[in-house]
Structures are given as C-alpha cells and as structure tokens.
Structure 1
Amino acid sequence: MRRSILLAGVLTTSLTLAACGSSDDSTESTTDGAAGASGGLTIWVDDTREAPVAAAAEAFTEETGVEVELVQKNFEDVRPDFLAQVPTGEGPDITVGAHDWLGEFVNNGVVAPLEIGDKAAEFDEVALQVYTYDGQLYGLPYGVENVALIRNTALAPEAPATWDDMVAAGQAAGTPFPVLVQSNGESGDPYTHYPMQTSFGSTVFAQDAEGRYTNELTLGGEEGKAYAAWLAAQGAAGVLDIDTTYDIVVEEFKNGNSPFIIGGPWMVASFEGLDLAIDPVPSAGGLPSQPFMGAPGFYVNAQSDNQLLANEFLVDYMSTVEAQVALYEVGDRLPAVTAAAEQVAATDPIVAGFRDAAADAVPAPSIPEMASVWTYWGNTEAAIVSGKSDPAEAWDKMVSDIQGAIDGS
C-alpha cells in the first residue's frame, strides 16, 4: 500500500479562537482530547496536514465562534488509538485517516455517517465510493491516489503501449532493471500488482451497478489463472523479483538504474532532479490496467456530542477549493474536489499524469471481507513469482483459502 507517514512524536496545539476574533496564544496538552469536552471541536491531524487544517479551523472559529483544538499525532497511531478511545467517550470529534480503515471503523461503531448533500457533485465519484458503506457516506476525502508508470524520460523518451513494449524499452536502455515493481519478500504486494492483474480480466470482488463492492469473490476462474501464469513467467525472466522492496526500487530508480517504476505520488519527492513523465500502467493481458484508487480523508467520531458541528466543518471548510489545494500542496495528493484537482493539474504535469492514469481506476475495497484477502493474496503472488509454487495450483488454493476465511469470519 502507499508509504506510511512517520512522525517523531505527538504534539497538541490548541487554537483558542474567540467569536469576535482570534488569539495568538496557544496552549499545550498531554492528552489526546475528549470529543466535545470543551464545547468545541477536537481534531486529530498528522504533522503533514496540520497547517492546512489549522487555517480552515481558524476560519471556522471566526465565522461560528466554535473553538477548535488540533492534536498532532503520528499517523500510524491514529487508527488503533481511535478504535480504543472512541468507545470510552474519549478521542477527537474528527480524525484524519485512510479510506481502507472504513470497514473496521463501521463494524466497531466508531464513525458517524456524513451528510454532504449537493456537495457530492463537486467530488471525484470514486473518492466518495471508497468512503461509502452500505450506501452511506462515512468519510470526507481530501485527496486521491493511485499507482501509475513513472518514467525517466532521459532513459525512455516515449510511453510504452504494452507491458512487453515497456520491458523491451527497459532492456534496450541498458540499465540493470528493465522495470522496477515493488514487492515485500514472501508477503508480496498485490496492491501494486493489481493493474497488471486486472489487465487479464481478474478482479478481487464483484461490484454492483453503482460501483459498490459486494462480498462475491472474483479472484478465481481462467482470468485469475492466466494472470498467475504471467506472474510465473515474469519471475522466471527476472522482470519481477520478490526481493525488490519499496526502499530498493526507489533507490534504484533514483540512481538511474531503470527507466520505469510502478508507484504512486508518494514516491515522487524521492526523484528530485530527474525528468519524469507519468503514464498509465501498460496492459500485460490485453485489457485496460485498472489500478486501485485510494483516498485519504477525515472521519467523525460516532460518540461525539458535536457531530453536527463536525459535519459542518468538514463540508463547508475542508471541502473548499482553497482547503483542498492547500492539502495538496503539503501532501502531493490530487485533490478529491474536482475543481481543485483541475486547478492543480493545469500547472503540475506530474499530478496531471497520475490523474490521467486513474481514468480506469477502481475503488480500493474497504469492505470488511478484505481483511481475509491481503495475506493469502500477497503470499501466493510471491510464491508464484519466486517459482516456489505451481501458478494454477497455488492460485486455486488461494481462492479456496480466502473464501473459507470469509465464510468463517
């Protein structure tokens, strides 16, 4: 999945803003705040997003008189802390988060539905889908992210039309790696590999007419076996390698050791000084490659006494073009609000490239059943690529194991 955000520690900053104006004074606290404890809003943010949220909070306080307290947290602590604190009446009114927490949050009763009304028309449709569960919206996206083909134009001037064309261009470039695709040892990385899988017509779960995932597993069938056979062939040819971890592929690409890397916007800052182009992941199986689209966003505490205020803050202050562009500027994620995305893409070809590469993207599933999928899926792909397992047999066993885990959950 996307690279986690690592922060050194936890800070708390209070924005004590009066109804008629704002104060420059701030206080520090050693707690994570209790929802509604002060009659205002408490928001958990990570270091990267603190400044844009603070700016929106100041405007909110000036216009409503409601005070906002920001609690800066290590992003990796947000999910477990929110799950632990909300049932006890603690935690924030609003927290920053990721869309793939949704199933767990809803099942544990810790998040409240959001009502955004006509504002929905202003958002990327897939960005809202990934925060929707059983037809109800539970999170407000502020960005979208997907993998694409990142190309070093000095080594590969033209975008490849197919996977085989890309490999041939990579070999012709004379670099140590024709293409770099991250894996995670024997755990694999099905998230990054999903565009190639879908190009064979193999998907993970069925979607209904409105694009919502059902619990019908679709990994099986001839399409899945064809993809498994392709994985084995790419591993045998040395194109794919389970030992190329995230850190390795980023370092090798940065050093000019491949013209191509499959990755997301979270990688781009590491490639300063390279002339880059962003292309769709080329098809390996003949059908369009469909990367997963994810969306960072915000959740509202189901136990908060201030749910209406929290909803108002997110819809009226974090959904503006100004706020969404500010979040992009600190985090390099294409805004989820369409007008903001268009504004950014008009001046940033890298962002525009990732947006274009998402033309066929599908929502990354956040249904609870995904918890039964990732480990089996990744382990099987890695075993096939490394040559340790017969592709057809391993794929069939994986599907059976996943279905059994879903049925038993």
Structure 2
Amino acid sequence: MKVNKKSVLAISAFIAGGALVLSGCASGGGDNGGDSGNESEGGATLTVWVDQNRADALEDSISQFEEDNDVTVDLVVKQNEKIRDDFTAQVPTGKGPDVTIGAHDWLGSFVQDGLVAPIELGDTAADFQEVAISAFTYDGKVYGLPYATENLALMRNADLVPEAPATFDDMIAAGTAAGTQYPFVVGLDPANADPYHLYPFQTSFGNSVFAQNADGSYDGSQLTVGDEAGQAFAAWLGQQGAAGTINLNLTQDLAKEAFNAGESPFILTGPWNTTDAEAKGINIAIDPIPTAGGETASPFVGVQGFYVNAKSENALLANQFLVNYIGTEEVQYALYEAGNRPPALTAAYDKAAEDPIIKGFGDVGATGFPMPSIPEMGSVWEFWGVAEAAIIGGADPASTWTKMSEDIQANIDG
C-alpha cells in the first residue's frame, strides 16, 4: 500500500473521563503509549495506533466519542512501516494498543498468531462496500473495521484519447493512433515483473491465484494459478513481451515519467500517481482496466482498517469505538480527506464519488478481489514475479508457468 511515512510522535487526548459505562471493560494501553492496563482518572484509556495523516483526521472530532463514553482515547502516532512488526511483537507480551490501524492483508498471520479479535458489526456490515468487508473476513468472522480501499485502474490522457478502450487490443490500437512513443505503459521490475500490476489482465482470462469460497474468501489448499486459464494468460503475456507492448525496461518511475510527459496516453496505475499527473497539466480520466482475455479485468483491492488487540482488556469499548465512531459517515469521510482513497462506508463513498477520479477508482475496485490475506500467499510472490519476467523476456510460457506453479506448491507444502 502507498502511505505517508512520518516520524514517531505521541498525541494524547486531554479530556478526562468519568466512570466507564461499559461493564466488564478494564482500561487499556500500549507500549509507545503505555502498557495494557493504564487507567485514566475515573475511567478507561483506549490506546489507538495510527499514522500521522489518520491522527490529524481523528483528533479534532474524537472528543465527542470520549464525552459520550466517559473515556480517554490516546492516539499514538507511529511510522506506518513499523506498526505491523511492533504490534506482532508486543501483543503476545500483553502490551501494544487496544486498537491499531492496518492493512487487510496482515489478517491471515494476525489470526494465525492469535493477535486480533473478531468485531461485531451486526446489521451495519451491509453499510460497507462488499469488497471491504470481504477483505477483513477470515473463516466467516470479520476482524477489522474497514475505512478505505485502494486499487489499480487505467489512467488515460483524455486529450490524446477521448474515449475509454474496452479491450487491451483496442487500447493498443488507440495508443498507436495517438502517435506517442508508447501506446501503453505499466511499470515493471526487470527481474521480477510486477504480479500486482499484471494481475488484472490475468483475471481477465478467468485465472486466480487460489480458489475462492462462496463467501469470497480464499482456500489456501487449492492453488489455481497454474490451471488452463493461467496457461492462457502466460501465452498472452509472452506475446506482449515479444511485441513490446509490455516492456520490462519501463520501471515504475520511467512509466510514470513517460505518461506525465505525454509520451503515452495510457498507464496502469493507482491513485498515488494522480496528483503528479494533474500537476503536469494532464487531463486525466480513470477508466476500467481493458480486458485481455474476454472476462472482467479485476485488480487486487487493498483495504485499510482498524484491528482490535486480542488481549485488550477494553475489547467491548474497542468494538464500540470502531462500529459507532470509525464506522460513521463523518469519520469515514474525514479519513478519506486525509488519505484521498475511496471510503469503505458506502454513504461516505457516495459523497466522495462526486470527484470523478475517486469514482473511477472506486468503480473499478468494486469489480476487484481483495488481496489474499491467507498465510499461503507469502509463498507465491517470489516465484510468480520471476516467472512473469522470464516469459516477457522470451522464455517458453507453458513450461515456465508450470514450473512456477510447482515451485509455489512446494513452497506452501514446506
């Protein structure tokens, strides 16, 4: 996920609470914000780990939650890249926060290690985008309160190509007709390609990495990446490498520079690149990703949310904080304004979608699949990217893809 990285800073709320109204809830806290069990004068302290942007969005309005519940909320601002490791290290020792911000694809290891508790959304689950709830669901239980989604889409220079292409071939034809240096760009790594960026084209052939259950969750025991549909994608990928339409020499930075310089009318990218494109005067439009294999080109969707510490003594209060505060339209919209990502709550998304760029990414995300959060996904990336790079570079697609699948399965089996 692309997020801002700030230095560690502790921010405390200064409103003292009275007696805790939720029976059975002790106070809570955390390292870098106090050990679990810290009590505020006359009430509980709920410790919440956030990054700087989210703290700025929450601290001005959090006093209402404190007043309503007679508690203190201690926002502890941490560098985003340290949150996962610190949470993993501290929770088993009885430390850490009551609530932490985090990405949904941490969920598999968090549940496996007993670090997070399910939350009770009740009927309010229907108020969120389906992909967001699915992302935080594991073994039929919801473990996080989602607040934002993020995914790829096709960004188009509308001055060079006025209409969105329906298929990959249509896009290449339109890009060629535009007379630019590149008909289409996507940033890749020369040695590891980029499975994340290429996955929408893979899904358009009907292929997925793992089989999915009826509720949308992934079955780590059924690796499907090497099936017939995956082989069809691999063959197509080899054709694009030979034609130069997918180019290993264009890194993320070079692809971005080419698009922003008007050297290509299309780039496959995420919302993190829209600001710079607009600053360069590009008239951008956000379109669905064109299909290469005939089915919908569905990207991975990353979802950001909040988890409850499984060892928190304030579990009921933490759940209330998430459902009745983080899950409100006002707070979800404030978090959207801080991060410029489509809100997970449908009402907040509908308001944010008045911006056509947000709507473009959100509409594509609604067709996407949550990034697999199951532990088995950790065995996939190394072999997947190397195989894609080899195929783009001219290796035999069928044998390379088959070996990749076998290597992944062997890695899963240990």
> In structure 1, which of residues 44, 52, 74 is the aligned counterpart of residue 49 of structure 2?
44
Say whether 1:398 aligns with 2:404: yes
Say whether 1:107 aligns with 2:117: no
**What is the deviation of 1:135?**
0.8
2:325 corresponds in structure 1 to 317
1:9-33 CA distances to partner (integer Å, 9 max, x unpaired)?
A: 111111121248xxxxxxxx99343
2:388 corresponds in structure 1 to 381
8 Å CA contact retained: 1:12, 1:30:
no
- Find the residue that maps to 1:143 and give its secondary structure: strand
2:128 corresponds in structure 1 to 123
8 Å CA contact retained: 2:134, 2:215:
no
CA shift in 2, pair 1:404/1:16, >3 Å = same
**What is the deviation of 1:266?**
2.0
Partner Cα separation in structure 2 for residue 33 and residue 176 of structure 1: 56
8 Å CA contact retained: 1:36, 1:93:
no
**What is the deviation of 1:122?**
0.5
2:362 corresponds in structure 1 to 355
1:278 corresponds in structure 2 to 286
8 Å CA contact retained: 2:129, 2:344:
yes
2:345 corresponds in structure 1 to 337
- Find the residue that maps to 2:274 and give its secondary structure: helix
- Structure 2 gaps, min length 5: 19-29
1:233 corresponds in structure 2 to 239
Partner Cα separation in structure 1 for residue 31 and residue 372 of structure 2: 36
Letter in 2 for 1:330: A
Partner Cα separation in structure 2 for residue 257 and residue 198 of structure 1: 28
8 Å CA contact retained: 2:31, 2:96:
no
Partner Cα separation in structure 2 for residue 55 and residue 282 of structure 1: 42
Partner Cα separation in structure 1 for residue 170 and residue 59 of structure 2: 47
1:24 corresponds in structure 2 to none
Say whether 1:10 aligns with 2:3: no
- Find the residue that maps to 2:241 and give its secondary structure: helix
CA shift in 2, pair 1:308/1:222, >3 Å = same
Letter in 2 for 1:365: P
**What is the deviation of 1:62?**
1.5
Partner Cα separation in structure 2 for residue 380 and residue 55 of structure 1: 49
Letter in 2 for 1:307: A
Partner Cα separation in structure 1 for residue 88 and residue 114 of structure 2: 9
- Find the residue that maps to 2:56 and give its secondary structure: helix
- Find the residue that maps to 2:53 and give its secondary structure: coil
1:162-193 CA distances to partner (integer Å, 9 max, x unpaired)?
A: 10110111122222221111222312211111
Per mean C-alpha deviation after superposition, the further-off stretch among 123-132 and 357-366 is: 357-366
Give the % identical residues: 54
1:203-256 CA distances to partner (integer Å, 9 max, x unpaired)?
A: 111112221211211112221111111111111111112232222222222222
1:367-378 to structure 2, matched below 5 A, reads 367-378=374-385
1:6-405 to structure 2, matched below 5 A, reads 6-7=5-6, 9-19=7-17, 31-38=32-39, 39-215=44-220, 216-272=222-278, 273-345=281-353, 347-387=354-394, 389-405=395-411
Letter in 2 for 1:186: A
TM-score using structure 2 length: 0.92
Q: How many corresponding residue pairs?
A: 396
Partner Cα separation in structure 1 for residue 138 and residue 328 of structure 2: 24
Per mean C-alpha deviation after superposition, the further-off stretch among 167-176 and 393-402 is: 167-176
**What is the deviation of 1:49?**
1.1
8 Å CA contact retained: 1:56, 1:318:
no
- Structure 1 gaps, min length 5: 21-28
Per mean C-alpha deviation after superposition, the further-off stretch among 279-288 and 37-46 is: 37-46
- Find the residue that maps to 2:116 and give its secondary structure: coil
TM-score using structure 1 length: 0.93
**What is the deviation of 1:56?**
4.2
